[in-house]
Amino acid sequence: MFIEPSRRREPPHLRTGWIEVICGSMFSGKTEELIRRLNRAFIAKLKVCIAKPALDTRYHEQNIVSHDSTAIQSIPVQSARDILALAADSEVVGIDEAQFFDDKEILEVCNQLANTGKRVIVAGLDMDFEGKPFGCMPQLMAIAEYVTKVHAICVVCGDLANYSYRLVPSREKVLLGETDSYEARCRRCFRLGEQASSGKEWVYEDHEKSGSH
Ligand code: ZN
């Protein structure tokens, strides 16, 4: 479990900011982990603000809401740049659903916030429904001081899951709306589903056979 580095005894002008990334598939508890860290910052009497892209309309407009419905007040922003003004007086900045922000802009904003001494905690999907790296997330993980990958449980076999498997036929990258259009799957069950829906045969067993010779 992530433990906050302690810099509270340093004089303010010596304190440095940093970036934390929390990534994983849908149903992996990313938002719950973001909320856990932000709650601890509240307890530490730090000034906290939370932003999310305005385009994420899945739940209540003004709140960051996790799947277990623990809500923290958050502010929808049209672009990543808006976070700079929003976070001007904050010591800790939470950003949810970061994969939906413009790639280049969110990187610059996170760096700028951290460079001015703020702790930036960013949560987002690391892969899209095709299992490809999602938007800004790979770059954010590269520039972050701390990266935490959280895992869901595969609803098919019960192993650890890191893929968001889409249950509906749409091929659009962003399919907003509905968490019930997805399920968490492990690598094996994700590929099984992909290949069943594309009509191709699954090749994994062939590899297993050739490996046993
Ligand atoms: Zn599985």
pTM above 0.75?
A: yes
Residue 6: inside a domain:
no
Asked if residue 150 is part of any domain, the answer here is: yes
Catalytic residues: 97
Which residues lie near ion ligand 1 (Cβ < 5 Å)? 154, 156-157, 159, 186, 189
Number of domains in the chain: 1
CA of 145 to the centre of ligand 1 (A): 31
Q: Separation of 67 CA from ligand 1 center, angstroms? A: 21
What pLDDT score was predicted for residue 176? 60
Residue 183 lies in a domain: yes
Q: Which residues form the domain of 97?
A: 15-211
Q: Report the CATH number at residue 145.
A: 3.40.50.300
3-class SS string, the chain: CCCCCCCCCCCHHHCCCEEEEEEECCCCCHHHHHHHHHHHHHHCCCCEEEEEECCCCCCCCCEEECCCCCEEECEEECCCCHHHHHCCCCCEEEECCHHHCCHHHHHHHHHHHHHCCCEEEEEEECECCCCCECCCHHHHHHHCCEEEECCEECCCCCCEECEEEECCCCCCCCCCCCHHHEEEECHHHHHHHHHHHHCCCCCHHHHHHHHCC
Does residue 2 belong to any structural domain of this protein?
A: no
pLDDT in tens, 56-114: 555 544 555 544 445 567 889 999 999 999 999 999 999 999 999 998 999 999 999 99
Residue 200 lies in a domain: yes
- For residue 9, being part of any structural domain is answered with no
Residue 41 maps to a domain: yes
- Distance of CA 190 from the midpoint of ligand 1 (Å): 7
| 71 found inside a domain | yes
Residue 156: its pLDDT value, please? 97
